[in-house]
Structure 1
Amino acid sequence: MSTLHIVCPDCQAVNRIASERLAQHPRCGQCKQPLFSAHPLELTGRNFQQHIARNDIPVVVDFWASWCGPCKMMAPAYAQAAVALEPHVRLAKLNTEQEQGIAAQFNIRSIPTMVIFKSGHEVARMSGAMSAADIVRWVKSSM
């Protein structure tokens, strides 16, 4: 039985979960909230590094902005992909207007751009709006 570290989307506590229990709707040991909600997690400068570096599951980050038409068009598809990929992959969103430093750190030049992080490192990147099926296919093929 292997153990995974999963960061709570509510209190940011790092939880140890048996990999076999991921599909059993685990809750945070500290705040008792669900560790997965089948919705993309909103990242900020305060919680970005914790989720990227401390989650043992891959984290897919959608770098977006509120003024971006393709970003708005892709948002429902990204939410559908979260339903399909969790709990084995965490989907998250980062508003590049509010977090320009993080966007610059990762050299985000066009949006939407999705980046897959594993153990704190970028493993794949894709720019442009995609359908839910294409997002799921891309994430699975990049693992």
Structure 2
Amino acid sequence: MTSADNLTCLSCGQLNRVPVAKLGSGPKCAICGHPLVSGGVSELDVQVHNKASLKDGLPIVIDYWAPWCGPCRTMAPEFAKAAVTLKTKARFAKIDTQEHPELSQKLGIRGIPLLILYSNGRELARLSGARPAQDIAAFVRQNIKA
């Protein structure tokens, strides 16, 4: 039997089942055709955030940020570099806490930028503050054993 992961399309929210062996070959959403493992950073809404953090088998790192936050804007290119580095090991996304304050309250977010790593419906770890790409990648690797 082939090992497979559930991956939420970060564009349309469709849950897709993808064989682990195919993660490196550019799988696409069965509904909208959006790449599921792109090595980029996706902007999330609350529904897709909740679905991905609860259902995805491949780890997802979510950056909780706001447009007025200087450290958040400074870290954005570093977060994108880490996403490229860990393309088939984890997916990277961000959500605007100013636009979705209810999420900050629900998750107990007291300061931004904040990275939360999820896998298989569980929060694995948190990392606060602006960090360079190598620190972000090390945080992910340490917590997913990759």
> What interval of TM-score do these two structures reach, taking the shorter chain for normalisation?
over 0.9
- Kept in 1, the 8 Å contact 2:27–2:37? The answer is yes
Quote the residue 1:32 is aligned against: 33
**What SS is found at the alignment partner of 1:76?**
helix
The residue that corresponds to 1:120 in the other structure is 121
What CA distance in whole angstroms lies between the structure 2 residues aligned with 1:87 and 1:2? 15
Partner of 2:88: 87
Q: Hey, what's the Cα distance between the residues in 2 that align with 1:127 and 1:32?
A: 33
SS in 2 for 1:46: helix
Corresponding residue number in structure 1 for 2:44: 43
What is the CA–CA distance in structure 2 between the aligned matches of 1:58 and 1:4, rounded to whole Å? Answer: 10
Residues 6, 55 of structure 2: 8 Å contact kept? yes
- 2:7 is matched with 6
Q: How does 1:95-110 map to 2 (within 5 A)?
A: 95-110=96-111
Letter in 2 for 1:94: I
Q: Which secondary structure does the structure 1 equivalent of 2:46 belong to? A: coil
Partner of 2:79: 78
TM-score of the pair, normalised by structure 1:
0.94
Aligned twin of 2:20: 19
- Which residue type is aligned with residue 124 of structure 1? A
Instruction: Note the aligned Cα RMSD (angstroms).
Output: 1.1
Structure 2: segments with no counterpart, 5+ residues: none
Query: Whole-Å Cα distance in 1 between the matches of residues 118 and 125 of structure 2?
Result: 7
Question: How many aligned positions are there?
Answer: 143
Task: Tell me the CA shift for residue 52 of structure 1.
Answer: 0.8
Partner amino acid, structure 1, of 2:78:
A
Query: Quick one: distance in 2 between partners of 1:15 and 1:40?
Result: 18
Structure 1: where are the runs of 5+ without partners? none
Q: Distance in 2 between matches of 1:42 and 1:140?
A: 22
Separation in 2, partners of 1:72, 1:33:
26
Report percent identity of matched pairs: 36
Paired with 2:102 and 2:141, the residues of 1 have a C-alpha distance of 29
